[in-house]
Structure 1
Amino acid sequence: MKKLYRSVTDKKLTGLCGGVGEYFNLDPTVIRVITLILTFFSVGTVLFIYLLASIFIPKSPYSHINDPSSYHYR
């Protein structure tokens, strides 16, 4: 069963578009462009929904495994 998470590795702001891209197997850049266009046409309503979704959708618990920035070198 698939679950929607915010991406930890593919993010520009909150990782929401990266997570949606992973969920639907789409390029996250396409999701970002669609979100930007819809934000302008909705007079900010999509931005409000984006912020709410970023608060309530959890970060992916699995993305840190492949995230090179999470490695700690001694």
Structure 2
Amino acid sequence: MTNYSDTEVRKLRRSRTDKMVAGVCGGLAKQFKVDAALLRIVLVGATLLGFGTGAVIYLACWLLMPEEEPPAY
């Protein structure tokens, strides 16, 4: 039997620190544990090759993804 109480819940949030425009790629990179630069390259490729689809997806993520909480001091 699997104990689900030990699993960590990771929430998808826009990054406050790793951002170029709105932190979408930085947040996705943190969530999926990949390099943010790689996601940015994929996004640019999707925008150029997909006739702007990447930009629409980025805009939707910007509007729908909440920003991560500021660090508590």
TM norm structure 1: 0.81
| Structure 2 stretches lacking a partner, 5+ long | 1-8
Which of the pair is proportionally richer in helix? 1
Fraction of identical pairs, as percent: 33
| Paired position in structure 2 for 1:14 | 22
Higher radius of gyration, 1 or 2: 2
Q: Give every structure 1 segment of 4 or more consecutive aligned residues whose post-TM-superposition deviation is greater than 2 Å.
A: none
How far 1:49 sits from its partner (Å)? 1.4
When the two chains are superposed, the root-mean-square deviation of aligned CA atoms in Å is 1.3
| Structure 1 stretches lacking a partner, 5+ long | 67-74
| Paired position in structure 1 for 2:62 | 54
1:23-38 aligned at under 5 Å gives the runs: 23-38=31-46
How far 1:12 sits from its partner (Å)? 0.1
CA–CA distance in 2 between the matches of 1:38 and 1:65? Answer: 33
